[in-house]
Amino acid sequence: MARADNAPRSFKCRQCGTIFTARGETGTCPICGCECRAGECAMLEASDEGY
């Protein structure tokens, strides 16, 4: 049961520094379109607050 795989994560774009939320291990920056992957962009663990 890999229920944590779809948890939203926050990426910090390595190009423009925008912080955005994406699912999974990759995400596309909404500002510059840079593709962020785990290990390339800084990843911030989404906290449990909110739900």
Interface segment toward Zn ion; rule CB under 5 A; list 9-17, 20-28, 37-45: 9-17
Q: Residue 22: helix, strand or coil by DSSP?
A: strand
Q: How far is CA 1 from CA 21, 27, 51, in A?
A: 23, 23, 20
Q: Which residue's CB is nearer to Zn ion, number 5 or number 30?
A: 30
Which of 15, 19, 38, 46 lies at the binding interface for Zn ion (CB under 5 A)?
Answer: 15
CA 23, CA 48: separation in Å to the nearest integer? 15
Rounded least distance, CB 28 to Zn ion, Å:
9
List interacting residues with Zn ion (CB under 5 A): 13, 15-16, 18, 29, 31-32, 34
